[in-house]
Structure 1
Amino acid sequence: MLDTVCAGWILLPLGRHPTRHRASRLLQPLIGDDNPAKPRNPGPRNGDDQERGKFARSVLEGSTVALISLFGLGLGGYAYSLFYKRTMRNKIENAFATGYSSQERVALGRISYGTEPDKIQEIVEREYWVPRAEQDVINDVVSGKTRGRYHLVIGERGTGKRALLLEAMRKVNGDGIAMLEAHNDLEVFRTRLGKAIDYEFHEDYIGGLFSIRGPRDSTPLLDIERALNQLEKVALSMRKRRGKPLLMIINNIHLFKDDEAGKHLLEILQQRAEIWAGNELVTTVFTSDEYWTLQRLIPHATNMNVMNIRDVPKDVVNKALQGYRARYHNEHVPQSILDEVFAKVGGRLIFLNQVAKSRDMLDTCIQINRREKSWFLNNCWILGDTMDDDVEEQQKYCAAAIILARALVLRESSATDADQFILPEIPLHEARQIITRADFVQPFDHINVIHIDAHGMVRADSVAMQNAFREVVQENGFEEHLKATLNRLDELESLARTREVAIRDVPGRSGGIVPVQTYCARI
């Protein structure tokens, strides 16, 4: 039994734990010494050397194990990093694959998940029932036939800018397309961009578990820049396989704030759009309702193409509206009704959709005109000569809107072709001269009272808004009310510039009081 114990102990590795050294010393008298020449009781110096040797071997073994562990940990982390980056690029590629993302499905509605082709075609005919002359141009951009440019699609609210893009997306089944909506908050836009291209901004990276400052701890602009960098790498790899550029659509960029942060964001997006368009990597399409975005992009634009989307002409509207009512309402609409509908709402798609699907088209037109007039008066009506001095600045803004509306009404000419009515227009510089202010025209565009197109022409936001202008200007007593408002504003401004100077009473030489003298001066 003692031999078994000794043999088992000899097989154990030496130098692993101090208790094993003590056990070996206890068993030494029983086992004996195999080397008779070696003294049984070594001196103190030989014992210290043996202890130091054993300690050195222990340190060496522990260090080796630690180094191997660190090497394995580093190798595993490096492998995970490569795996994560590869997976991230695959996710971005999948975002541009054929089909639709969740945001695109919401925008397309039932078209994106319909299964029967006949039913999809019926839905398309119901949704896109007005033919557009710009559709072929948009189709070439979305399908990749038009290359080397990036595009700004600008037009009034409700002219069908997004509908044109959605119809083009449907024809290519979303192949190579990512679409997102703009927002005035950079964090929200960062999230929407990541969702559109399926990029997580390293938020799911396991390195975030450590107390190390990670790539997510930064500003939204830096996150957006990182996302665009990854998109550029994916576009380079996909360009060889696809043979045509990817497409990224950013809707409603006028929602970006017109401040420094919004300016920096537009600069980042435009720089990328310029580079990508020149190399045919990604075709970027911006949509906007307001003119200030064009003003921001033009100074640095080299490859930008501006598409101005206008209302649908009258002949197209009459034919489409007549066919829609005959097919889905079994109604033959006379020409007189069609003319009256166009005179009230024009060729604005957002209004025509409401009119075409309503039970009484003329009543819907009247409601639309009433709503537009109410919006204009609630935001821009003047208060006359009884206004308080506290509303002076607000009334200057309203008076400018009323004066501009009157100028647009006066520009209406009886020589205008009644069959193809065109809204009267005023050049932007002339509009500023009429209202004697340069800073009010853009806010009017922002609240959809007027619109400034891509050529710098100012007109009413819609036919319904022009009708509201005409009704207001032609009311009895309008000119007197406007004149009284302007006189009151002049009076308040004059009072603000007038200062009263008074000299206090001072005792005279004879002990009397010098009378007070008051002087008024206009500064």
Structure 2
Amino acid sequence: MVRLLRSSRGRLAQFIPRRDTKPRNFPIFEVGSSQDASDRQRKYAGNDGAGESAWKSSLSKMLEGAATALGSIGILGLAGYSYHWYYKSLVLSKMENAFAPGFSSLERAALSRQDADSPTQDDDWIPRAEQVTINGIVDGTIQGHYYLVTGEKGTGKTSMILKAMSRIEGEGIAMLEAHSNLEIFRIRLGKALDYEFHEDYIGGLFSFKGPRDTTPLLDIERAFNQMEKIALKRQEESGRPLVLIINGTHFLRDDEDGQHLLELLQQRAELWATSRLVTVILNSDEHWTTERLLRQATRLQVIPVRDIEKKIAIESVKNFRAKAFHEAVPTSVLEEVYSKIGGRLRFLSHVAKSRDMLSACETICEKERLWLLDQCWILGAEMDPGAENQQDICASAMIMAKALIAKEKELMRDKDYDGRLPQIPLHEARELVTNNEFLKALDHINIVTIDSRSMVQADSVAMQNAFRVVSSQPGFDEHLQETLDRLDELESLARTRELTVKDVWGGKGLRAVVESKSKKGGQEDVVVTIKGFSSEGGG
């Protein structure tokens, strides 16, 4: 029995897992001696020191990251400020270089028309009294004003300015051509001043355009602000102003945009003339720019460039022909040349360089006559109503032609008459054509010209000859009167209103015609006409 129990216990022991004899680390809370307590405190203090060390390590890493970020921001800010400072200095350096001796591409192209080595390629053989004044303005000798150089097309305004520029090799000068589009004007100004309007500034990649970047006028104002800095530096170094030349000012439109730009230019020109920083030279072929500038001008000086006087023109052509063609031209031939083309520089230059001068004169006169007929011929009694506005200008041209020819006949009665073109005061010319806008249109297409003294004349001697030929045609006066009558009829129809009431009684009706008739002094009379009519008979 005992033996059986032992064997059973042995078999059960195979299925019962053995107890792990390794002691386990369970926290035991027991009361012990003071020595044991101190040992436990030291143990726990070691654990707190490890936590404090970890906290200090995290804090140091945070401070290190913050210092790195602040350092990066500081370096980035310093780099940005350094670039900004460098860019501003580069802008001034480029603009200062634009006023250094030498010429821009535009100036080079203009100067290439003049070849000092060949007497047949320039107009130096014709002396100009205005050249000395323009030389002094361009080289900075004459200061304290800004200037409007005005005159008819082809009188030599631009040529004299270019000659003055070539004398000093473009030093201190910027030149540009005006344009009716303000954006194109802005680009041309930037090219003349070598100024990019901050369009190449890298900082612009990280910003949006604001309200100040919306119009070309603001960019033009910024360019002038930069130019003032160069002018101040030049004034301190040499005591001479910069010179800004705007050629073709009449190309600006006589509208709101053009007036704003001209106002900006004049304000700057007045300020610069007072401080002697910049001398502005405006070049124009039309009278409206003179009118616009004179309204607010205090330091403006107008330099009229007119046709060359008869004596100087004849002598100059004679000397040129002797030098270039070894020809002694009779005075009678030169007198005839002047009577056909006058003292217009571009005509004289063309004729003097031609083999047959009289034939060249006839060609010029024929071109002017065809231009007059193409632009201003009148259509008579059969005029279409749609041509009314254009024919108003054409009729005004023919009225002015007749008036100038009559004035010429009066001058020819004087034995001392020197062949100068007849002139009519502007206010009298406005009374003749009844509308100031018509005269502006004729000035724009080079039929008549209005000078700085507000006198109206033919655009040239050749155009005066064309007036004479056209107005002497048989039946011209009757044809002009028919045109004027037709224009009055069309204008009357535009002022007439008609009201018709039908079938009022017995197939009959009433027709009321309301017509306004203008009187002197700008007043109008209203005429009401009432007539009865039969619907069967039609009236």
The yes-or-no answer on 1:77 pairing with 2:73 is no
Work out the CA distance in 2 between the residues paired with 1:514 and 1:474: 56
Would the alpha carbon gap of residues 211 and 38 (structure 1) be closer, same or farther in structure 2, given more than 3 Å must change? farther
1:94 aligned partner: 97
Q: CA deviation at 1:212?
A: 3.8
Once residues 264 and 162 of structure 1 are traced to their aligned partners in structure 2, the CA distance between those partners, rounded to angstroms, is 25
Choose which of 109, 112, 119 in structure 1 pairs with 2:112: 109
For the residues of structure 2 that align with 1:354 and 1:174, how far apart are their CA atoms? 28
Within 1, Cα distance between the matches of 2:468 and 2:52?
110
The equivalent residue for 1:258 is 254
In structure 2, the partner of 1:378 is 374
Aligned residue type for 1:75: L
Closer/same/farther in 2, CA of residues 384 and 67 from structure 1, 3 Å limit: same
**Partner amino acid, structure 2, of 1:85:** K
Q: 1:416 to 1:190 in 2, by over 3 A?
A: farther
Partner of 1:479: 477
Range with greater deviation from structure 2 (390-399 or 414-423): 414-423
Q: What is the rounded CA distance, in whole Å, between the counterparts of 2:496 and 2:209 in structure 1?
A: 60
Does structure 2 retain, via aligned residues, the 8 Å contact 1:153–1:288? yes
**Distance (whole Å) between structure 2 residues aligned to residue 42 and residue 158 of structure 1:** 105
In structure 1, the residue matched to 2:195 is 199
**Of the two, which has the highest radius of gyration?**
2
Please list, as runs of the form range in 1=range in 2, the aligned pairs for 1:325-404 lying within 5 A after superposition: 325-404=321-400
C-alpha distance in 1, partners of 2:347/2:295? 35
Distance 1:124 1:287, change over 3 A: farther
- Note if contact 2:231-2:277 (Cα within 8 Å) is conserved in structure 1: yes
Deviations 1:393-439 (A, max 9, x none): 22222111111111111110213567732111011110000112222
Other-structure match for 2:446: 448
How does the TM-score come out when normalised to structure 2? 0.83
1:466 aligns with 2:469: no
- Per the alignment, residue 293 of structure 1 pairs with 289
> Is contact 2:113–2:122 with CA below 8 Å preserved after alignment?
no
Match of 1:230 in 2: 226
Please tell me whether the aligned partners of residues 499 and 522 of structure 1 are also in contact (alpha carbons under 8 angstroms).
yes
Look up the SS of the partner of 1:342 in the other structure.
helix
Structure 1 gaps of 5+ residues are 1-35, 112-118, 508-512
Give the distance between the partners of 1:227 and 1:215, measured in 2 at CA.
Answer: 17
- Note the 1:12-23 alignment, pairs <5 A: none
Instruction: Name the amino acid aligned to 1:518.
Output: R
Output one character per residue of 1:187-240: Cα deviation in whole Å (capped at 9) or x when no partner. Answer: 111111111111111122121232443799331100100000000011001111
Q: Structure 1, residues 242-280: CA drift from partner, whole Å, max 9, x if none?
A: 121111111111111111111111111111111111111
User: Is residue 155–residue 310 contact of structure 1 (8 Å, CA) maintained in 2?
Assistant: yes
1:21 corresponds to: none
Residues of 2 paired with 1:516 and 1:425: CA distance? Answer: 57
Measure the CA separation in 2 of the matches of 1:339 and 1:403.
29
Report whether the alignment pairs 1:405 with 2:398. no
Shift of 1:493: 2.3
In 2, Cα distance between the equivalents of 1:252 and 1:381? 28
- 2:420 is paired with a residue whose SS is coil
The letter of the residue matching 2:135 is N
Tell me the equivalent position of 2:129: 133
**Aligned residue in 1 for 2:311:** 315
* Cα distance in 2 between the residues matched to 1:41 and 1:363: 124
Query: Does the C-alpha gap of structure 1 residues 329 and 123 become closer, same or farther in structure 2, counting only changes over 3 Å?
Result: closer
Give how far 1:312 is off: 0.4
Letter of the structure 2 residue corresponding to residue 248 of structure 1 = L
Q: 1:248/1:294 Cα in 2 relative to 1: closer, same or farther (>3 Å)?
A: same
Aligned with 1:248: secondary structure?
A: strand
> How far has the Cα of 1:49 moved from its partner?
4.9
Identity %, equivalent residues: 51
3-state SS in 2 of match to 1:257: coil
The equivalent of 2:529 in structure 1 is none
Cα 1:317–1:417, aligned 2, differ >3 Å: closer, same or farther? farther
CA shift in 2, pair 1:58/1:482, >3 Å: same
Deviations 1:140-169 (A, max 9, x none): 111222111111111011100011111111
1:116-127 mapped onto 2 (5 Å cutoff): 120-122=116-118, 126-127=122-123
For the residues of structure 1 that align with 2:40 and 2:287, how far apart are their CA atoms?
Answer: 104
Structure 2 unaligned runs (5+)? 1-38, 517-539
Aligned to 2:217: 221
Aligned to 2:508: 515
Q: Once the two structures are superposed, what CA deviation does each residue of 1:43-66 show, in whole Å capped at 9, x if it has no partner?
A: 887666555443332222122111
Aligned runs of 1:133-152 on 2, under 5 Å?
Answer: 133-152=129-148
Cα gap change, 1:55 to 1:99, in 2 (>3 Å): same
For residues 120-141 of structure 1, the C-alpha deviation after alignment (integer angstroms, 9 at most, x for no partner) is 4546973422110111111111
Equivalence for 1:66 = 69
Hey, what's the Cα distance between the residues in 1 that align with 2:120 and 2:101? 19
SS in 2 for 1:302: coil
Question: C-alpha distance in 1, partners of 2:472/2:223?
Answer: 55
The structure-2 alpha-carbon separation of the partners of 1:182 and 1:210, relative to structure 1 and needing over 3 Å to count, comes to same
Q: CA shift at 1:470, angstroms?
A: 0.8
Report the counterpart of residue 151 of structure 2 in structure 1: 155
Amino acid at match of 1:67: L
TM-score by length of 1: 0.86
Shift of 1:304: 0.8
Deviates more, 1:206-215 or 1:382-391: 206-215
Q: Is the 8 A contact 1:202 1:216 kept in 2?
A: no
Query: C-alpha displacement at 1:316, in angstroms?
Result: 1.0
C-alpha distance 315-282 of structure 1, shift in aligned 2 (>3 A): same
Name the CA shift for 1:418/1:105 in 2 (closer, same or farther; >3 Å).
farther
- The one-letter code of the counterpart of 1:60 is L
CA gap of 1:224–1:39, structure 2 versus 1, over 3 A, is farther
One-letter code aligned to 1:489:
L
Q: Aligned partner of 1:362: which letter?
A: L
**1:514–1:63 distance in 2 versus 1, CA, 3 Å:** same
- How many residue pairs end up in the alignment? 476
